[in-house]
Chains A and B, each alone.
Chain A
Amino acid sequence: MDDSKLDLLQGTLDLMVLQTLVTMGPLHGYGIARRIEQVSGNEVLLNQGTIYASLVRLQQRRWIAAEWGISDNNRKAKFYSITKRGRKQLTQDAAYWQRLSCVMNRVLAMPSQEGKS
Chain B
Amino acid sequence: MSGWLRQSLQRCGSFLRRELLDQDLDAEMGAHLESAVAENLKHGMSPYEARRQALIQFGGTQHAKENHRDARGIPTLELIFQDLRFALRMLRKNPGFSAIAILTLALGIGANTALFSIVNGVLLNPLPYPQPDRLVAIYGHTQEFKTSSISYPNFLDWQRDNNSFTALAAFRGEDFNLTGMGDAERLTGNMVSATFFSILGVKPSVGRTFTESEDQVGGAPVALISEGLWKRKFSGSPDVVTKSITLNGTLYSIVGVIPGSFHYQQGNFQTKSDLYVPIGQWNEPLFRDRRAAMGTNAVGRLKPGVTLVQATSDMDRAAAHLSEVYPDADKDSGITLMALKENLVGDIRPFLLVLLAAVGFVLLIACANVANLLLARSTGRNREFAIRTALGASPGRVVRQLLTESIVLALAGGALGALLAMWGTQYAIKMLPEALPRAEEIHFDGRVFLFTLVASLLAGVVFGLAPAYKSARSEIRESLKEGGRGGSAARHRTQSVFVAVEMALALVLLVGAGLMIRTLTKLWSVDPGFDAHNVVTFNIASAQPMGATPPATRVALQQLHDAISAVPGVQNVSLTMGSSLMNGDSELPFWLEGEAKPAAQSDMKTALFYIEQPEYLNVMKIPLKRGRFVTATDNENSPAVMVIDERFAKRYFGDKDPIGTHVNLSILNMTVEIVGIVGHVKQWGLDSDDTATIQAQCYLPVPQIPDAFVPLFNRSVNVVVRTSAAPLGAMDSIRHAVQQVNSQIVVSGTATLSSVISDSLAAKRFVMVLLGIFAALALLLSSIGIYGVISYVVGQRTQEIGIRMALGAERSNVLRMVLGQAGKMVILGVVIGILAALAFTRLMASMLFGVSPWDPVTLLGVVVVLSLVSLLACYIPARRATRVDPMIALRYE
Contact = CB atoms under 8 A, between A and B. Distances in A.
A78 B35 CA distance: 12
Contacts of A53: 64, 67-68, 70-71
Given A57-B72, A61-B3, 5 more contacts: A48-B36, A49-B67, A50-B64, A75-B35, A77-B32
Contacts of A30: 31-32, 35-36
Given A49-B64, A49-B67, A57-B71, A71 B31 contact: yes
B181 interface: no
B18 to A, nearest CB: 12
B59 interface: yes
A48 B71 CA distance: 16
A49 B63 contact: yes
B38 interface: yes
Interface stretch (B21-29, B302-310, B345-353): B21-29
Q: Top 10 A-B pairs ranked by shortest CB distance?
A: A47-B59, A49-B64, A53-B67, A53-B71, A30-B35, A77-B31, A30-B32, A49-B59, A56-B72, A48-B58
A28 B71 contact: no
B38 A29 contact: no
Contacts of B7: 60-61
Contacts of B59: 47-50
Contacts of B68: 52-53, 56
Contacts of B10: 60
Given A47-B59, A49-B59, A49-B61, A76 B71 contact: no
B31 A76 contact: yes
Interface in A61-85: 61, 71, 73, 75-78
B64 A52 contact: yes
B67 A50 contact: yes
A33 to B, nearest CB: 8
B60 interface: yes
Nearest to A32: B32
Contacts of B35: 28, 30-31, 71, 73, 75, 77
A30 B37 CA distance: 11
Interface of B: 3, 7, 10-11, 24-25, 27-29, 31-32, 34-36, 38-39, 57-61, 63-64, 67-68, 70-72
A43 to B, nearest CB: 15
B682 to A, nearest CB: 80
A92 to B, nearest CB: 14
Interface in A16-58: 28-31, 33-34, 47-50, 52-54, 56-57
A71 B35 CA distance: 9
7 contacts: A28-B35, A30-B36, A31-B35, A47-B58, A54-B71, A57-B72, A78-B31
Contact of B27 (A31, A50, A71, A76): A76
A77 B28 contact: yes
A20 to B, nearest CB: 15
Contacts of B60: 47, 49
A49 B58 contact: yes
A31 B25 CA distance: 16
Contacts of B32: 28-30, 33, 48, 77
A50 B59 CA distance: 8
Considering residues B25, B28, B32, B67, which has the most beta carbons from chain A within 10 angstroms of its beta carbon?
Answer: B32
Nearest to A47: B59
A27 to B, nearest CB: 11
Contacts of B36: 30, 48
Contacts of B34: 73, 75
A88 B3 CA distance: 15
Nearest to B36: A30
B31 A75 contact: yes
Nearest to B66: A53
B67 A52 contact: yes
Contacts of A60: 7, 10-11, 71-72
A30 B766 CA distance: 76
Nearest to A1: B56
B5 to A, nearest CB: 12
Contact of A48 (B24, B27, B57, B70): B57
Interface residues of A, number: 23
Contacts of B24: 78
A103 B24 CA distance: 42
A54 B70 CA distance: 11
A28 to B, nearest CB: 7
Contacts of A48: 32, 36, 57-59
A30 to B, nearest CB: 4
Contacts of B29: 29, 49, 52
Contacts of B70: 53
B10 to A, nearest CB: 5
A90 to B, nearest CB: 17
B644 to A, nearest CB: 94
Contacts of B11: 60
Residue with the greatest number of chain B CB neighbours at <10 A, chosen from A31, A34, A52, A73: A52
B28 A73 contact: no
Contacts of B58: 47-49
A69 B71 CA distance: 24
A77 B71 CA distance: 21
A76 B747 CA distance: 97
Most chain A beta-carbon neighbours within 10 Å: one of B11, B60, B63, B64:
B64
A97 B63 CA distance: 29
Contacts of A34: 39
B3, B38, B67 — which one has the most chain A CB atoms within 10 A of its CB? B67
A26 B72 CA distance: 21
A90 B35 CA distance: 28
A111 B68 CA distance: 45
A77 B58 CA distance: 16
Contacts of B38: 73
Contacts of A76: 27, 31
Contacts of A49: 29, 58-61, 63-64, 67
Nearest to A72: B35
Contacts of A33: 32
Nearest to B54: A48
Nearest to A52: B68
B550 to A, nearest CB: 97
A26 B70 CA distance: 25
A49 B39 CA distance: 17
Contacts of B71: 53-54, 56-57, 60
A38 to B, nearest CB: 12
A71 B30 CA distance: 13
Nearest to A31: B35
A54 B64 CA distance: 10
A57 B69 CA distance: 10
Contacts of B64: 47, 49-50, 52-53
Identify the interface centre among A49, A52, A77: most chain B CB within 10 Å of its CB.
A49
Nearest to B35: A30
A54 B67 CA distance: 9
A76 B28 CA distance: 8
B17 to A, nearest CB: 13
A52 B25 contact: yes
A52 to B, nearest CB: 5
A76 to B, nearest CB: 6
Contacts of A77: 28, 31-32, 35
Nearest to B63: A49
A94 to B, nearest CB: 20
Nearest to B25: A52
Nearest to B30: A75
B66 to A, nearest CB: 9
A87 B28 CA distance: 25
- Among B31, B39, B60, B63, chain A packs the most CB atoms within 10 A around the CB of B31
A102 B63 CA distance: 35
Contacts of B57: 47-48
A56 B11 CA distance: 11
Nearest to A34: B39
Nearest to B11: A60
Nearest to A76: B31
A47 B61 CA distance: 10
